[in-house]
Amino acid sequence: MSYTLLLMGPLLPSVMSTLESSYTVHRYWEAAEQDALLDTIAGDCVGIVTDGGRGVSAAVLEKLPKAKIVSVFGVGVDAVDLAYCREHGISVGNTPDVLSDDVADMAMALALAVSRQLVTGDQYARAGRWPKEGAMPLTRRVMGKRAGIFGMGSIGLALARRLEGFGMQISYCNRSARSDSPHTFVASLEEMAANVDYLFVTAAATPGTIGAVNAAVLDALGPQGYLVNVSRGTLVDEPVLVKYLQENKIAGAGLDVFAEEPSIPEALFSLENVVLQPHNASGTWETREAMGKLVLDNLAAHFNDKPLLTPVS
Ligand code: 8YV
């Protein structure tokens, strides 16, 4: 008899098929009556699989008292009710490190795209404007500029390695200085923002970081500064960011994440100083396969009474 799991949302097809060949899987997002599904499986369901965006709420967890593992397809666990899990002895596993290079690549790509106006240039070329109107407007150099990284975890470190290749002066704002980083530690986000051309957001969403990129930080970044966010939209005061972009109070933004995904503030769609992505920084076949393997390995470890490979502490 296989273990019964609840799957909150769709994952990579290969991961879902391995999951469904090893476990009895109930698909929450497809259920017409979700509460009824929870009632039906409550006596059997011993684990939950979800992704970083969906997570799992206390309302679902409390209906499944036998579920003692939440295996998350993603590094961010802000959508999982961790306090509930802690209180009820539920293990939580996530997928750190395997996605850091892709997320750092996306941060770099967004910085390049918004500074060099890649999307605008592409549209200019495709619309046949070059032969008619001549060269497109000039853009801004990236090489040698000053970069500040908010959140120097595995993704921040991977990003710093890329920024070094662009000859950037790098500073970072983190809970504490890192002995394994040669870059300049700045305790205050506002102070760091005042001294950089690019502010990269790579911190996890926690009560201490949510809303941290506020008007004061964007004022400090100033009209020559770019914001790049590959973490969570909730770290930024989004209405203020939209206003600042409309009024050119910052130079531009590269955004992979938003406060109310999958909604994106419509006001951003008409702005040329913004490059948007639909939360796709970890979205490569290679990384999603590696994330899926970790999700499955964490489940296997749990059901074999072994420590999770990548537990959330
Ligand atoms: C994923 C993420 O997009 O790792 C995270 O925290 O946000 C992303 O890698 C998501 O979890 C997959 O749906």
Q: Provide the pLDDT confidence category of residue 201 given band limits of 50, 70 and 90.
A: very high
Rounded average pLDDT over 124-153: 98
| pLDDT at 1 > cutoff 90 | no
Distance CA 111, CA 105 (A): 10
pLDDT at residue 210 in the model: 98
Judge whether 279 counts as a catalytic residue: yes
Res. 313 pLDDT band, cuts 50 70 90: confident
282, 288, 294, 312: which to mutate for ligand 1, most atoms within 8 A of CB? 282
| pLDDT one-digit tens code per residue, 122-134 | 999 999 999 999 9
Rounded distance, CA 268 to CA 259, Å?
Answer: 13
96 Cβ below 6 A of ligand 1? no
- Check: CB of residue 138 under 8 Å from CB of residue 146: no
Query: What pLDDT was estimated at residue 267?
Result: 98
pLDDT digits (tens, 9 = 90+) for 236-289: 999 999 999 999 999 999 999 999 999 999 999 999 999 999 999 999 999 999
268-138-140-271 Cα dihedral, nearest 10 degrees = 0
The verdict on whether omega for the bond into residue 265 sits within 30 degrees of 0, i.e. cis, is: no
Q: Is the CB of 74 under 6 A from ligand 1?
A: yes
Query: With pLDDT > 90 as the criterion, what percentage of the chain qualifies?
Result: 99
| Confidence band for 114, pLDDT divided at 50, 70 and 90 | very high
Active-site position among 87, 261, 272, 286: 261
- Residues 11, 82: Cα–Cα separation, whole Å: 21
Q: Which residues pair with 254 in a beta bridge?
A: 228, 275
Asked if residue 30 has pLDDT above 80, the reply is: yes
Domains of the chain (ranges plus CATH)?
4-96+286-303 (3.40.50.720), 100-276 (3.40.50.720)
What pTM does this model have?
0.97
51 lines ligand 1 (CB under 6 A): yes
| 99 C-beta closer than 6 A to ligand 1 | yes
pLDDT of residue 228: 99
Question: Which residue among the candidates 54, 183, 238, 279 is catalytic per the annotation?
Answer: 279
Mean pLDDT, residues 287-307: 98
pLDDT tens for residues 169-197?
999 999 999 999 999 999 999 999 999 99
Long-range contacts of 57-66, Cβ-Cβ distance < 8 Å, separation of 24 or more: 57/81, 58/84, 60/6, 60/8, 60/28, 61/85, 61/88, 61/90, 63/35, 63/38, 63/39, 64/6, 64/38, 66/42
| Residue 159 confidence class, pLDDT cut points 50, 70, 90 | very high
* Confidence band of 28 (pLDDT split at 50, 70, 90): very high
Position 285 scores a pLDDT of: 97
Model pLDDT for residues 31-59, shown as the tens digit of each residue: 999 999 999 999 999 999 999 999 999 99
What mean pLDDT value characterizes the chain? 98
